Chains A and B, each alone.
With several copies, the nearest count.
Chain A
Amino acid sequence: MNDSYLKNVIEAALLAAGRPVALAELRELFDEFARPDAVAVEAALGELAADYAGRGIVLAEVASGWRIQVRADVAQPVSRLWQERPAKYSRALLETLALIAYRQPITRGEIEDIRGVAVNPNIVRTVLERGWVRVIGHRDVPGRPELLATTREFLDYFGLKTLDDLPTLAQLKDVESLGVQLEFDRPGDPALAEASDVQEAPADDVAPGAAAGGAGD
């Protein structure tokens, strides 16, 4: 038997099985007259293990046999396949972010003045950590409050070239028409594609939510 055929069958079988496969079972995959002996199978397994060096997978022997598993150093990104997107950002965070974008450079106090409520420090920390906002200086008033401004990452995230691409306040007045003028949906985001499907439906997640959000924070 061709060595690479033996190796190919073993690799395919280990990957198809979805469970560990014992060496004896691997031998059984072949017709009797062409059945490799245990030594040949072990040699093929050794080659496979070597092939996987520097790759995202490893060959491992466990109690019930051999299996191919994800290498630990890529487990972290791969784990995201199973992660649920967390809840959305609060209305308060979005308002804070919007004010920083439109009125930058701006201090927390100024945001509070406009919003009429105190800004939760966690909100500012979140947008700073996200890399959307940064402190660009301090206003020269008592307490020297931090001046907040948006970053290039902020523009990138929202697909804007400059802040000028944000709609003007006058345009904002007619939010309904915004959907037409702006490409709101970022490509490749399934959640958003879904959302656009229901645009005709009463936008209860938008208008009443706005009122609720305003009252709720």
Chain B
Amino acid sequence: MNSPLTPAEPRPEQAEMPFAIVDGEPVTEPPRDLYIPPQALKVFLEAFEGPLDLLLYLIRRQNLDVLDIPIAEITRQYLNYIDLMRELELELAGEYLLMAAMLAEIKSRMLLPRAQSEQAEEDDPRAELVRRLQEYERFKRAAEDIDHLPRLERDVWVAQAELIERAVAPLLPDVTLKEMLLAFQDVISRAAMFAHHHVQRERLSVRQRMSEIIERLQGGELLGFAQLFRVEEGRMGVTVTFVALLELLREGLLDIVQADTYAPLHVRAATPRSDQPAANDDAAGAASDDILESR
């Protein structure tokens, strides 16, 4: 045990009679379950996806729990396979030799007397190997599961029909609210350079109501003043309508008419006016300015 461990020299086999010497190395008999003709053996061995896969195969073949590996036996079998691979001149990946060294090392550690019994569990040299084997096995199974999923081109085909004539229907560009707001901010900041355009912080519902009122007055009809208000909108709604009316008056977009003193007020779309009652305009403007918090 005091010579360095080399994977090519499976130590447990030293007691056995090598049945052949290949390249100066003793070769014990092939694994007993390998009833495979030598030509097929190469294919068989190439089928392993690495040392973990080979180890899992050895463990599964004996129906063993991964958690409970008889390390000496598995190591012996593993090294047998490695020897076989060498004998058949398969390209032997470094990982296999690394694993052989790891197995031999685990085995040698297990030969040591258990000095500190309380640390024995953590120190079980197999623990790391077992963890890796389990981890690998999970994904080996996951790979099989994925292979069993119904997949395109093998189990599933997408149905398609021919579209002979592609009609041209132009799609319209999308606009986000943010884009529009940024555009507005931009135009307003530019407009601020022109002195007389003060865009107030105003309630847009007034603007909306102004549009609605104007629309109702289209066609030149005369509406009763009271008809423009909707009681169900509450005080706020009434205020909005009133401010909208004042603003429309100020902008000269509607006229308020009264047939007689104390007669009901009516509104209509503005008609071309010759003489503008200045007082009216001022009053309306002042009132709306107050409520609109214009500055």
A-to-B contact residues, CB < 8 Å: 12, 14-19, 28, 32, 57, 67-70, 72, 75-80, 82-89, 91-92, 94-95, 97-99, 101-105, 113-118, 130, 136-137, 139-141, 147, 149-150, 156-160, 162-164, 166-170, 172-173, 175, 178-179, 181-186, 189-192, 194-196, 198-199, 201-203, 205-207, 209-211, 213-214, 217
Contact = CB atoms under 8 A, between A and B. Distances in A.
Given A104-B211, A164-B205, A172-B138, A98 B180 contact: yes
A205 B183 CA distance: 12
A94 B146 contact: yes
Given A72-B164, A116-B191, 17 more contacts: A86-B173, A88-B173, A98-B187, A99-B187, A102-B199, A104-B207, A113-B197, A115-B139, A162-B205, A163-B204, A172-B135, A172-B181, A181-B65, A191-B12, A195-B110, A214-B186, A217-B128
Contacts of A181: 65, 67-68
B261 interface: no
21 contacts: A67-B162, A76-B167, A91-B49, A94-B143, A97-B143, A99-B142, A103-B207, A113-B194, A115-B187, A116-B52, A130-B172, A158-B177, A175-B185, A178-B127, A182-B121, A184-B176, A192-B72, A192-B111, A192-B174, A203-B113, A209-B108
A18 B165 CA distance: 16
Secondary structure at the B interface, as helix, strand, loop or mixed, is helix
4 residue pairs, one from A and one from B, having the closest CB atoms? A191-B72, A179-B121, A117-B50, A98-B184
Interface stretch (B19-27, B153-161, B279-287): B153-161
Most buried by B among A87, A139, A170, A213: A213
B291 to A, nearest CB: 15
Nearest to A183: B68
A172 B134 contact: yes
Interface in B5-19: 5, 12, 15
Contacts of B40: none
A78 B155 CA distance: 10
B259 interface: no
B39 interface: no
B34 interface: no
Nearest to A92: B49
Interface string B99-113: 101100111111111
Contacts of A67: 158-159, 161-162
A80 to B, nearest CB: 6
Looking at B134, B161, B165, B191, the one whose CB has the most chain A CB atoms below 10 A away is B161
Nearest to A167: B145
Given A69-B156, A89-B147, A167 B201 contact: no
Interface of B: 1-2, 5, 12, 15, 47, 49-53, 65, 67-68, 70, 72-73, 75-76, 93, 95, 98-99, 101-102, 105-114, 120-122, 124-128, 130-132, 134-188, 190-191, 194, 197, 199-201, 203-205, 207-208, 210-211, 214-215, 217-218, 251-253, 269-273
Given A159-B150, A169-B188, A75 B167 contact: yes
Contacts of A84: 171
B295 to A, nearest CB: 11
B186 A95 contact: yes
A217 B173 CA distance: 19
A182 B126 contact: yes
A209 B154 CA distance: 50
B109 A210 contact: yes
Contact of A206 (B109, B130, B205, B211): B109
Contacts of B181: 98, 166-167, 172, 175, 178
Q: Which of A83, A116, A194, A203 has the most CB of B within 10 A?
A: A116
A137 B204 contact: no
A94 B175 contact: yes
B214 to A, nearest CB: 4
Given A113-B197, A184-B178, A159 B156 contact: yes
B173 A214 contact: no
A149 B211 contact: yes
Contacts of A116: 50-53, 95, 99, 132, 136, 190-191, 194
